[in-house]
Amino acid sequence: GAYYEIWLDGEKVISAEEHPDVKAARQRNTNGTIFPHNEEPIYGDRYMPRKFKCCVTVPGDNSVDLFSQDLTLVVITDEQGNLEGFNIYAGGGLGRTHNKEETFARLADEIGFVQAADVYEAVKAIVATQRDYGDRYNRRHARLKYLIHDWGVEKFKAKVEEYFGKPLEPFRPLPPWRYKDFLGWHPQGDGKFFYGLSIANGRILDRGNFKLKSALRKIVEEFQLPLRVTPHQNLLLCEVSPDQREAIQHILEEHGVRDVTALDPLERYSMACPALPTCGLAITESERAIPGVLERIRRLMNRLGLQNEHFVIRMTGCPNGCARPYLAELGFVGIVPDTYQVWLGGSPDQTRLAEVYMERLPLAELETALEPLLVFYRDRHQPGESFGDFCHRVGIPALRQFAANYVPSSAPKRYRVDVRADQYQQLKALAAAKGLSLAALTREAIQRYLEQARSTNQE
């Protein structure tokens, strides 16, 4: 019941009643899926063995990273658009622990199809299976993904069907999954519009001329729009009538909030978890480090002639995988301070697991590590092939071999400049705070100084 109440400053501000159908479905006792006389009929008197993540999507739309979820329902309609039922996936999950091979990221499997009228019973059957057979001894082994991994899909399905009381129908064919972020203006289909707003790493703030927080406050106060939070840490402003569009666009521009067309796609498709200083489990920086990392990768790509390319980059401060790095084309997973495991080979639409390419990359060596991979990709990818698909096709051993034999040909000549000790210390501290290498920060500082000097001269 706690999930149906939101308390703020000691007052209950939102309390939602369950839909009568949901309430009835929860209470219905099919084949032992519930504890009939318990206040919480499905859980009983204790929680599930571990977190249990669910999502719902429509065919072709993988904006929810469905392969990372414990349970996914895919809405299946007939040709007229009437709801027929749901395809079910189960057993995805990303959290793992470094150096413990028995913990791993896993993609969800296709389980079957259920008619719309049976969906509550099917979900209860899956939840009951994990509730009753999920591991309650070892927390690291308690997710549904391990139960399905240990049993295999067939045994899992058979147990679910016992609770469900009949066979699941065969999984319905689906079109390929695509990652969609719905940024910018889109018609809702009812005459109104919604606007997808990119929020870098989900952090809503005002900083300098960029006043995202103020813009959002103004929009919500003026138009009372419902907001949706997306799994990619963005926001959708919903229910916008055609005559409000211009005013909303104006508020965003006036507050320095960039339109999606002004975003570097590296940033648009990237994601980082909160990590330091918010998360007690963090080993490395993530949210605060990723802007500098993206900037450095973009600079490197520009130098290598890859200015028109982009791919999905995700970073986390520990192996729990909150920003889902194991599904990215290039994933960074914090392992020891300032050092990351590098994962490669996920797909642009998050339908394939990445693999470990490098166990420890100190962030200071980012360019040295990535340059060979990007050059290999630049020179050898097939037309239209993304970086992640390329890495997957050639395979980790070939990538490692290419990197080992790589001789940087295009490396610019390097020059040395002396700085005072106190300047050095300040630069070092600033570089650490920004997640940049000392060299990158110093180059940037000098560049800014030169630009300033040039514009002063021109004036």
For residues 163-185, one letter each, b for 16 or more C-beta atoms within 10 angstroms of the residue's C-beta and e for the rest, the string is: bbeeebeebeeeeebebebbbeb
188 binds ligand HEM (CB under 6 A): no
- Does position 279 interact with ligand HEM (CB under 6 A)? The reply is yes
Taking the complex as a whole, the smallest distance from the CB of residue 73 to ligand HEM amounts, in Å, to: 17
Q: Which two tokens stand for residue 26?
A: 């929860």
Among 85, 93, 134, 325, binds ligand HEM (CB under 6 A): 93
**Contact by Cβ (8 Å): 449, 307:** no
Q: Please choose which of ligand HEM, ligand SF4, none residue 345 contacts, taking the beta carbon within 5 to 8 angstroms, the exact cut-off set by kind.
A: none
Least separation, in Å, of the C-beta of 270 and ligand HEM? 13
The site that binds ligand HEM (CB under 6 A) totals a number of residues, namely: 20
Q: How far apart are CA 44 and CA 344, in angstroms?
A: 42
How far CA 347 is from CA of 89, 318, 325, 353, 373, in Å, comes to 19, 22, 11, 8, 16
Build a one-symbol-per-residue string for 227-246: x at contacts with ligand HEM by CB under 6 A, - elsewhere: ------x-------------
Based on CB atoms, which residue is closest to ligand HEM, 173 or 280?
A: 280
Residue numbers 20-79 binding ligand HEM by CB under 6 A:
50-51, 53, 68
Peptide bond into 277 cis (omega under 30): yes
3-state secondary structure of 111: strand
In the list ligand SF4, ligand HEM, none, the entry touching 134 (Cβ below 5 to 8 angstroms by class) is none
Closer residue to ligand HEM in complex, CB, 73/440? 73
Q: How far is the CB of 53 from ligand HEM (least distance, A)?
A: 5
Cβ-Cβ contacts under 8 Å for 388 (sequence gap 6 or more): 311, 312, 328, 329, 330, 344, 345, 346, 347, 348, 352, 354
282 binds, among ligand HEM, ligand SF4, none (CB under 5 to 8 A by kind): ligand SF4
CA-based angle 235:2:227, to the nearest 5? 15
Strands (E), 245-388: 271-272, 313-316, 330-336, 339-344, 355-362
Residue 278 touching ligand HEM (CB under 6 A): yes
Q: Find the shortest distance in angstroms from Cβ 43 to ligand SF4.
A: 24
Distance between CA atoms of residues 117 and 94, nearest Å: 31
Residues in 392-451 at the binding interface with ligand HEM, rule: CB under 6 A? none
**Identity of the residue, 23 or 51, whose beta carbon is nearer to ligand HEM in the bound complex:** 51
* Site string (148-187) toward ligand HEM, x via CB under 6 A: ----------------------------------------
Smallest gap from residue 332 Cβ to ligand SF4 (A): 11
Residue 309 neighbours by CB under 8 Å, 6+ apart: 301, 387
Residues 285-344 that bind ligand HEM (CB under 6 A): 320-322, 324
Place of tokens 């103020």: 214
Minimal distance, residue 68 CB to ligand HEM, in Å: 5
Of the two residues 144 and 183, which places its CB atom closer to ligand HEM in the complex?
A: 144
Separation between Cα atoms, residue 151 and residue 90, nearest integer Å? 13
Neighbours of 382 (CB within 10 A): 8
Q: Which residues contact 147 (CB under 8 A, 6 or more apart)?
A: 91, 129, 130, 133, 134, 135, 156
Look at residue 318 and give the partner it binds from ligand HEM, ligand SF4, none, a contact being a CB closer than 5 to 8 Å depending on partner kind. Answer: ligand SF4
Q: Which residues pair with 40 in a beta bridge?
A: none
Selection from ligand HEM, ligand SF4, none that 95 binds (CB < 5 to 8 A by kind) is ligand HEM
Report which of 314, 259, 311, 302 is spatially closest to residue 412, judged by C-alpha positions: 302
d(CA 15, CA 21) in angstroms, rounded, equals 18
Binding residues (CB under 6 A) for ligand SF4: these are 273-275, 279, 281-282, 286, 316-318, 320-322
Site for ligand HEM in 190-229 (CB under 6 A): 202
Binding site for ligand HEM (CB under 6 A): 50-51, 53, 68, 93-95, 143, 202, 233, 273-274, 278-281, 320-322, 324
